[in-house]
Amino acid sequence: MKRNWVQYLSLILLHSSWGPQINWICNPVLSCHSCALSWFACPIGVLVHFSGYRIFPFFAIGTLLLIGVLVGRLFCGWVCPFGLLQDLLYRIPGKKFSLPAWASSIKYLILVFMVFLIPFFLGELTMFSFCRICPSATLQVSLPDIISSGTVRFSGAMMARWGVLAAVIYFAIKSSRSFCKAICPIGALMAVLNYISFWKIKLKSETCVSCLKCDKSCPTDVRPSTRARNNIPVNRALDCIVCHDCMKGCPVNNRKDKTPQKAAT
């Protein structure tokens, strides 16, 4: 199954709300629930508000935990519309680079501070919550609002929001899935569930020819070959988005006979 077709289909299906209100269900992808066409609630928006209300979000956490345990971060790779946008932006030719390993830690700080602690202490409508700078909200809500009203209101918050979106777009062009790796608080929430999820991507160590094509095809640079060599499911990594590109990139896995062959030099 082609991943990009699933992503396009998800983009259409997730943003085609025609009536019944089912946005009490959180969908673990970055898609603003303030968009008039969205079916589901954004887990980050819900968690920000529940932190501000100071009540535990049993329903939202239960949904995220259930999806995470079953499929890990599969939704990041196959369903997330913001992931699709990044995949498309990365196709723009030019000089590319990888983010340093420490950049992956930023998303956990964002999750703890901008989703839980700051809204908890300053209230759900604080200027410093993640929702205020969310690039998905800028694209899905602020941009249509500007287009429909025909007016642009300049404020510090608005400038910050557009500045973040511009930076996210720049880094998405230069570095594959950079937002997912460094910023996305949904990714931070779901990351640890990759280690225990029932969904497993297995590349057989006995047929591995160490060609490292799986590493080259990985959009989040999680080096699947290191786990494949040790017979560990390759999606057992925090930043893996369970896209299966490593499996598609593997020359042994794609061959019918699956016997080891000498790596091409």
Partner 1 sequence: MDKTFNKYFAVFALILALAFLAVGALRTLKIHDIETDLFFHEIPERQIVIDATFSGIVRKDGILYSAYDRSIKQGRQSCPT
Binding site for partner 1 (CB under 8 A): 21, 23-24, 26, 32-34, 36, 41-42, 45-46, 49-50, 52-55, 57-63, 65-66, 68-70, 123-125, 129, 131-132, 137, 141, 193, 195-198, 236
Q: Which helix (H) or strand (E) segment is 117 a member of?
A: none
- Rounded least distance, CB 89 to partner 1, Å: 25
Task: Report the 10 Å Cβ neighbour count for 63.
Answer: 20
Closer of 7 and 27 to partner 1 (Cβ): 27
For the CB of residue 222, give the shortest distance to partner 1 in the complex, in Å.
Answer: 16
The token duo for 224 is 């699947």
Nearest distance, CB of residue 38 and partner 1, angstroms = 9
Tell me how far, at minimum, the Cβ of 173 lies from partner 1, in Å: 27
Is the CB of residue 82 less than 8 Å from the CB of residue 29?
yes
Q: Which is it for the CA torsion 22, 28, 33, 35, positive or negative?
A: negative
* Residue 46 vs 218, nearer CB to partner 1: 46
**Nearer of residues 99 and 237 to partner 1, judged by Cβ:** 237
In the complex with partner 1, the residue whose CB is nearer, 154 or 198, is: 198
Neighbours of 173 (CB within 10 A): 19
**CB of residue 29 vs partner 1: minimum separation in angstroms?**
15
Q: Are 61 and 116 in contact (CB under 8 A)?
A: no
Judged by CB, which is closer to partner 1: 104, or 197?
Answer: 197
**In angstroms, rounded to a whole number, what is the distance separating the alpha carbons of residues 142 and 159?**
12
Q: Which two tokens stand for residue 138?
A: 């800028």
